[in-house]
Amino acid sequence: MGELYNILSQDVRFVESLKACINCGTCTAICPAAEFYIYDPRTIATTVQTQEDDKIIELLESETIWYCGECMSCKTRCPRGNAPGLLVIALRALSQDLGYFTESEKGRQQLALKRAIGEKILSHGYCINPESIAPELHPEQGPVWEWEMEHIHEVMEKLGANYQGDGAGALRKIPQSDLDEIHRIFEVTGGMDRFERLEEFSKIKAGEMGVEFGEGMDNDYFRMIYTTNNQTHTRE
Amino acid sequence: MSKHVVVIGAGIAGLEAASVLDSMGHSITLIEKEDTPGGHVDRWHELFPNRRPGREVLEMLYEKLRDSIQFQYGKEITSIKPFSGKFIVTASDGWVTNADAVLMATGFDLFDARKKEEYGYGIYDHVITSADLEDIFRQGEGLNPRLGKAPQRIGFVHCVGSRDEKAGNIYCSKVCCVTAVKQAIEIKELYSAVEVYCFYMDLRMFGRHYEELYKEAQEKYNIQFIRGRLSEASENRQGGVVVKVEDTLLGKPLKITMDLLVLMSGMVAPPGIVKMRNKLGLTKEEDGFLSPLDAHARPNESEVPGLFMAGTSSGPKTITDTLNDARSAALAIDKYLEE
Amino acid sequence: MKADGKKLVWKDYQKDIAEDHYFYARSCIRQNFFPGSEKAFTRILRDELGKDLCDNQHHTSCTGIGYHTDVVPFETTMTVVARQFALMNEAGYENYIASCITSFGLYTEIIETWKHFPETLEKTREFLFRATGREFTIPKNLAHASDVIYKFRNEIAAKARYRLVDKNTGLPLKVVEHIGCHYSKMFPHKGVGGAEYPYVLVGMIEAWGGEVIDYPERRHCCGFGFRQYAVQANRGFSIACSKKKFDSMEAYEPDLIITNCPGCPMFLDRWQYALSEMEGKTYGKNNRGIPVFTYEEVAGLVLGYDPWKLGLQVHQVPAEPLLDKIGIPYDPEAKFKGPNGEELGRPEAPSILKFYQE
């Protein structure tokens, strides 16, 4: 048994996800990502099943494990009780913690997610807030959203939210003491550690690639990982 | 002194065992829960691998039955109680008898395909089981009455209710693969222009002449075998069945519309028998079927002396295997009764 | 299609949903995009049904999106969830309602994990105590907000002023119902009706007079895909999934789409706009698109709530044609006005999707 396989076996999501795959393809048949991307969740299960380190490293460095949308349609159908979607979650965790994620275009995007979503959880207690969905970065949200953002306070009030207010209600300002608790939770459970690794590994990669690295979203590396698509990922 | 053997089940296992035991001079009562004998084979149009009519096999068995055999129809056995070296056998309507030996030839139930919800049996109009298809073959009117037209594309789904944790049965039902190949050929003979697909995980062509049947299906009838387990069936506006499957050999997910989808329903242990097995304290195996004392040396005996098993009551079998097993059981019972 | 066949399936997937005294955990996405729906939920539960609903100010995101974009480790998420439960205990409640489907799926997954791997529960207790000094017990009852509305659908029907019926023809409206993937795909028995034929929205639609449409891609994910939407480079996946669904449902001519997930109504709404701009194609009749609603929006509409307080004005696909069809009155002038009638201008109209009532 390879060492990486050993580490994976400690992850409960892995234990739940893979108990002998028979290659029947039920998962791939129903997978939305398999329709769109050059992706076959079945092969992830059978590759990991070999328990061979070099094959697993190949996966951790690949684009493959980043195609899944974690919808879990696979889990509903597998006749052996496996779940490639859960397996992917375990592989993604390992790929990030060991730094392999920076080897793939889609993997590098994890830094963007950490900065956009991860940091928002710590700073505001939400995964997203209106500022996260800037119309320039999200043109698909449409002109109504653009209008709403221009008048966010009035619209939120009309719809009964408590935007940035004290007390209960939608989009309230979550008290600092609560945010402090969340912060401490991240510290003791390895959440901050994960965030730091994402930053460090990404910084090294940016250096290797000769791309300007900086904090936040206003730097070349962030822009690169957020928008680059080499157009080789999808089926015809 | 002739002994009394109660044979439970007048399917082919029970019928054959009863005949053999009767010819050996024992007193036989053959009990059947339906109103007629024949079991499942009565429903099959033609048998694999050589397309012999199922009726023919039954006729052969019926011909051997002598008047000495007592038949009890419409009685479902509710309890078998070992008592002083014999058995008290009771039926649902209160009918009761004593037996020196009991043979469980109780057979199997077809897997209820409605449990595979994602295939839509009982919901989508043009999803049927392999057993339903045999009914259609026997009726002799083809598929036009059901579909309202000649079919253009038909799919067979292997392993429905078998090899499937979610369906509650992880075992293989053995005979469905070759049945699918047979039925695919029969469809092609009725409708030469129809496209026929078999969606399989493994093709279990284990028996004599099975591989040849498979080869014929490919070469003569151009039946398409796609290695992938069906994930989902849904219905479109025209009543067509839209299926999603991966062609695992090409590594590509497919979406195909069928006029008809045939589900190869597997075998399950009848729930009444599972209950009785538990009441008698017999070995519990996960698949629910009865377990012989020793698969190699004593394949028809249970842990209770005098209580025997034959046919699919102890697991999925072909018809030829079942008949052989029934004869083996008769031998074992005869030996037991002599002692 | 034999609808009766589905009834047999639904019988197997009944769910225990608490009667009263709920602790409400809000949804990140809904608070941003559908605050009117969450407001309607609290109003329906408290004012219409007389229920006790605790709207706690100290709870946070469950980190579900962070978890499913893989930036938040499982231990962290489990501990944040444990904190939510601790807050529920502290407030004196034992029935938990998640407003978000991802949350609901996550809570269910975590509770199952704690059950099957007790060492993870111990670890979580330890982490939570170390970080916050808090202790927790697992909720006695966990439900999604749509489960609760489903449970009281007949009470809502009894109070309803409108039904999902075309006022001109008297015929039921054709409704597409879309269930969030994380509602029942992971644990079918935790969803009303299971994973293949979920009943939670069907029950509401039937109770409120509508007719449910089943179409081939009903069970297909809307395409949120977490990282597949959040990162711009991946968004093609997301829109492609929604397009698949639209192409499949189009021929059935649905009048509206109802969904029970936070992301799904947002995507099914916005991607119609995006597709109209990208490919010039709209769904539904006369370039008006197929309006998409949350179940609270529909509940609110049948109960007679003001559409502009419900938040229908922030949909990209306009709801007015449907309101007209049902016969629900609204003030077109008030649509884009502020809470005190202030003039806020209007959004630019898209080039193809018909925007204002014309």
Phi, psi of B239 (to 5 degrees): 85, 0
State whether residue A196 sits within 8 Å of chain C by CB: no
Q: Is residue A228 very low, low, confident or very high in pLDDT (cuts 50, 70, 90)?
A: very high
Question: Per-residue pLDDT tens for A160-203?
Answer: 999 999 999 999 999 999 999 999 999 999 999 999 999 999 99
Which candidate from C1, C194, C219 shows the least CB-CB separation from B235?
C1
Mean pLDDT of chain C: 95
Measured between its terminal Cα atoms, the distance across chain C in Å is 38
Is pLDDT above 70 for A1? no
Q: Is residue C356 very low, low, confident or very high in pLDDT (cuts 50, 70, 90)?
A: low
* Domains in chain B: boundaries: 4-108+269-338, 113-267
Cα–Cα distance, C192 to C179 (Å, whole number): 11
Q: Is residue C351 very low, low, confident or very high in pLDDT (cuts 50, 70, 90)?
A: confident
Length of chain B: 339
The CATH code of domain B4-108+269-338 reads 3.50.50.60
Q: Select from B228, C188, C260 the least CA-distant residue to A76.
A: C188
Measured in whole angstroms, the distance separating CA B222 from the mean position of its chain's CA atoms is: 28
C156-334 has which fold?
Answer: Rossmann fold (3.40.50)
What integer pLDDT is reported at residue B165 of this predicted model? 94
Which candidate from A23, A34, A79 shows the least CB-CB separation from B165?
A79
How much is the average pLDDT of C76-96?
Answer: 98
Same fold, C18-145 and C156-334: no
Please count the other Cβ atoms lying within 10 Å of the Cβ belonging to residue B161: 25
Which candidate from C35, C68, C347 shows the least CB-CB separation from A161?
C35
Cβ pair A26:B230 closer than 8 A: yes
Question: Per-residue pLDDT tens for A22-46?
Answer: 999 999 999 999 999 999 999 999 9
Which candidate from B124, B125, B237 shows the least CB-CB separation from C251?
B237
Here the ipTM equals 0.96
Half-sphere exposure of B305 (CA within 13 A, CB side): 8
Cα–Cα distance, C331 to B104 (Å, whole number): 76
What integer pLDDT is reported at residue C303 of this predicted model? 97
Which residues, including other chains, have CB under 8 Å from residue C208's CB and lie 6 or more apart?
C153, C156, C157, C160, C163, C164, C298, C299, C302
* Domains in chain C: boundaries: 18-145, 156-334
Which candidate from B230, B248, B253 shows the least CB-CB separation from A23?
B248
How much is the average pLDDT of A61-66?
Answer: 97
What integer pLDDT is reported at residue C58 of this predicted model? 96
Q: Select from B102, B1, B60 the least CA-distant residue to B320.
A: B60
Neighbours of C, requiring at least 3 CB pairs below 8 Å, are: A, B
What integer pLDDT is reported at residue B1 of this predicted model? 61
Q: What is the pTM of this model?
A: 0.94
Residues 104-123, chain B, touching A (beta carbon < 8 A): 118
C chain contacts of residue A225, beta-carbon cutoff 8 Å: 231, 233
Choose the mutation target among A137, A141, A158 for the interface with C, i.e. most C CBs under 10 Å: A158
SS3 B171: coil
Cα–Cα distance, B199 to B197 (Å, whole number): 6
Cα–Cα distance, A2 to A50 (Å, whole number): 9
C chain contacts of residue A172, beta-carbon cutoff 8 Å: 57
Q: Select from C193, C181, C205, C180 the least CA-distant residue to C261.
A: C180
| Low-confidence residues in chain B, pLDDT < 70 | 1
A chain contacts of residue C344, beta-carbon cutoff 8 Å: 147, 150-151, 154-155
Is pLDDT above 80 for A117? yes
A86: left (phi over 0), alpha (psi -120 to 50) or beta: alpha
What integer pLDDT is reported at residue C8 of this predicted model? 87
What integer pLDDT is reported at residue C70 of this predicted model? 97
C chain contacts of residue B232, beta-carbon cutoff 8 Å: 219
State whether residue C306 sits within 8 Å of chain A by CB: no
Residue C40 distance to chain A (closest CA, Å): 9
Which candidate from B231, B251, B254 shows the least CB-CB separation from A77?
B231
Greater model confidence, C142 or C358: C142
Cβ pair C2:B125 closer than 8 A: yes
Is pLDDT above 60 for C258? yes
Tokens at residue C49, please? 């049904």
Cβ pair B246:A28 closer than 8 A: yes
Cβ pair C60:A125 closer than 8 A: yes
Question: Per-residue pLDDT tens for C201-237?
Answer: 999 999 999 999 999 999 999 999 999 999 999 999 9
Q: Candidates 1.10.3720.10, 3.20.20.70, 1.20.1050.140, 2.170.120.20; correct CATH number of C18-145?
A: 1.20.1050.140
Q: Which CATH architecture has domain B113-267?
A: 3-Layer(bba) Sandwich (3.50)
Choose the mutation target among A8, A12, A68, A71 for the interface with C, i.e. most C CBs under 10 Å: A71
Is pLDDT above 60 for C192? yes
How much is the average pLDDT of C233-250?
Answer: 96
Residue A51 distance to chain C (closest CA, Å): 23
Which residues, including other chains, have CB under 8 Å from residue B324's CB and lie 6 or more apart?
none
State whether residue A21 sits within 8 Å of chain B by CB: no
How much is the average pLDDT of A75-88?
Answer: 96
Which residues, including other chains, have CB under 8 Å from residue A210's CB and lie 6 or more apart?
none
Residue B324's alpha-carbon distances to A180, B24, B196, C131, in angstroms, are: 75, 17, 34, 70
Same fold, B4-108+269-338 and B113-267: yes
Cα–Cα distance, C149 to C41 (Å, whole number): 8
Cα–Cα distance, B120 to B118 (Å, whole number): 6
Length of chain C: 358
What integer pLDDT is reported at residue C357 of this predicted model? 57
Please count the other Cβ atoms lying within 10 Å of the Cβ belonging to residue C250: 14
Is pLDDT above 80 for C355? no
How much is the average pLDDT of C41-61?
Answer: 97
Q: What percentage of chain C has pLDDT greater than the value 70?
A: 99
A chain contacts of residue B165, beta-carbon cutoff 8 Å: 79-81
Question: Per-residue pLDDT tens for A197-225?
Answer: 999 999 999 999 999 999 999 999 999 99
Residue C7 distance to chain B (closest CA, Å): 10
State whether residue C30 sits within 8 Å of chain A by CB: yes
Cβ pair C219:B125 closer than 8 A: no
Is pLDDT above 80 for C358? no
Cα–Cα distance, C346 to A106 (Å, whole number): 38
